[in-house]
Amino acid sequence: MSVLKKRWVIKNQNKTLPIFKRLLENRKHLNLENESIFHDPFLFSNMHLAVKRIFEAIEKKERIIIFGDYDVDGISSSAILGHTLAKLGANFSYRLPHRVNDGYGLSEKFIDEFIEKKIKLVITVDCGISCKNEIKKAKDYGIDTIITDHHAIPKIPPKDAYAILHPKFEDSYPFKELTGAGVAFKLAQALLKEKRQDDPQLMNSLLELALLGTVADLGPLTGENRLIVKNGLKNIAQTKLPGLKKLIEISGREEIIDVQTIGYRIAPRINAAGRISSPYTPLFLLMANAPSKEMDELAHKLQSLNEERQDITGKALIEAQKSLDTENLPPIIIAKSKDWHVGILGLIAGKLAEKYNRPTIILQEKNNCMVASARSPEYFNIVDALTFVKDCLINFGGHAQAGGFSMEASKFEDFKTKITAYTQEKIEIIDLTPVLNIDCELCESEINLNLIDEIEKLAPFGVQNQNPQFLLPNMLPENMQTVGKENKHLKFSVNIKNQNITGIGFNLGEYLKELSGGGKIDIVLQLEKNYWRSKTSVQLRVLDFRKSEH
């Protein structure tokens, strides 16, 4: 068993093929030869209707409301549409719900505000598909609603919407996995195309914003998502959006900005505001047109919020783990506390689901009501599970692997019993040992900078296109040590072709003792370049290891 107690699965064991061909065989869904052209946005069957209504509002000088969400996908979607409408001379403003005060989605309180202010057009981004009652009320009071969303479609979608743009809502759009930012980008494309606005700088900026939402919302990096991310990464290091530039600076800018930089540095700072404060802070930063003192203050506010979010998440995660019987885990992990901030429930659920390879629900109880976030491994559809127990819930929604809901506290025990039984039935034949997927085995002679150059042709890496992971067997570790803050990381070297190659295992520092007894180990790793004093060398990103059997 590996130190992380994972089951290693080698996807391609055909050693007659070169490494790169094995990687391609493992990624048959990638189309490297034909990935340069975006689909026509008017393939959305409602796109002509949506575009016509927006231009009508612009011509009549009607006030347009962009209604978004409080996460990165919703905030970047709002910014995409905001920059586009500004270019077209629209009279528009934003509404973003506050996670604690307003909850998720287009609630009735916002419709009441729009009625009072005589709003005529609302465009939702990254939400709206589950808000049929609110949209009906808006229509009854003369407000048109254009929905742009990508979340799970309810059995009865909003029939009173003026237009719905949702990649899964219709057969006519060829790529179904767009995030909210991706759908907003397609609407922006259509608006600019209809107006014959050819503005490469604006289009680059919109792609950079769509990149943020696509990566943060874990959009599969295939098809059009791959195009968005690949093109968004091209220019983001020299972005013309001053707020995004400032955000990159405070995130600890690297020489190369990649998917990992977005996912682990930039997106968490945007998300922190929506989790524990106001989502308008990052939105106003992304909408800034010129550097200013206010822009600097917004950026530093995000930095401090992210540090606060890290602190409260770490403490809550320790508490949640202490509540678990790790030797006898149930089929679905359910933990609750009155003290956990509602904005970090999803983070705790995600970390526990990843660590224990089980669907996880984390709840906060307040005023006899419970709010929850749920996360799940790929083998289990959490929204299907919530649908099964919907009689216990006030409302719910989400994706196959991520959801949220609210319910009366009195329903908790009934809910727990029913969803545990449902989960047990669905997964009873599944091996729940966490799996580490490995592309193929490497020989020492195959490790060089040329192979890394070939691997980079498959980038960008992310969901459904992971950075290639290799098994390197029978290596003798030397110079073992822990490094970094609180000695969290593990560092050692191995001798390959008479060269000492450094291996770094992030968050593996506690396993130093596993190396101290001597002997060879099998390593699961990613290959990367290390830049030091104008010299480029191979470095091993260690993901897991075990004692060699030979």
Question: Quick one: average pLDDT of 451-462?
Answer: 94
Using one digit for the tens of pLDDT, what is the confidence trace for 372-407?
Answer: 999 999 899 999 999 999 999 998 888 889 999 999
Write out the two tokens for 165.
């743009």
Across the chain, mean pLDDT equals: 94
**Region 51-74 average pLDDT:** 97
- The pTM for the full model equals 0.90
What are the tens digits of pLDDT across the range 257-274?
999 999 999 999 999 999
Q: What pLDDT shows up at residue 504?
A: 97
What pLDDT digit, counting tens, does each position of 87-129 carry?
999 999 999 999 988 888 899 999 999 999 999 999 999 999 9
Gap between the Cα atoms of 312 and 382, Å rounded? 26
Per cent of the chain over pLDDT 70 is 99
Class of domain 41-305: alpha beta
- The identity of residue 143, as a single letter, is I
Q: In the CATH hierarchy, which fold is given to the domain comprising 323-427?
A: Diaminopimelate Epimerase; Chain A, domain 1 (3.10.310)
Instruction: Say which DSSP state 365 is in.
Output: E
- The answer to whether 7-26+439-547 and 41-305 have equal CATH topology is no
How far apart CA 310 and CA 351 sit, in angstroms, is 13
pLDDT, position 297: 96
2 Cβ partners below 8 Å, 6+ apart? 8, 436, 524, 544, 545, 546
- pLDDT bin (cut points 50, 70, 90) of residue 230 is very high
Give CATH for domain 7-26+439-547.
2.40.50.140
Note the pLDDT of residue 255: 64
| Distance separating alpha carbons of residues 181 and 78, to the nearest angstrom | 8
Q: Are 57 and 90 in contact (CB under 8 A)?
A: yes
By C-alpha distance, which of 489, 486, 491 is closest to 503?
491
Cis, bond preceding 97 (omega within 30 deg of 0): no
Could you give the percent of the chain with pLDDT greater than 90? 85
pLDDT value at residue 35: 67
Q: What amino acid is encoded at 402 in this protein?
A: A
Question: What one-character DSSP code corresponds to residue 319?
Answer: H
Where are the domains positioned within the chain? 7-26+439-547, 41-305, 323-427
Say how far apart CA 184 and CA 179 lie, in whole Å.
9
Give per-residue pLDDT as tens, 312-329: 999 999 999 999 998 899
Q: How far is residue 423 from each of residues 237, 257, 334, 377, measured CA to CA in Å?
A: 44, 40, 12, 12
Q: What pLDDT does 516 receive? A: 79
pLDDT category, 275, cuts 50, 70, 90? very high
β-pair type (369-375, 360-366): antiparallel
pLDDT for residue 184 is more than 70? yes
Q: What 3-state DSSP class applies to 101?
A: coil
Count how many residues are written for the chain: 550
Angle, CA 408 vertex, CA 403 and CA 411 arms, to 5°: 90
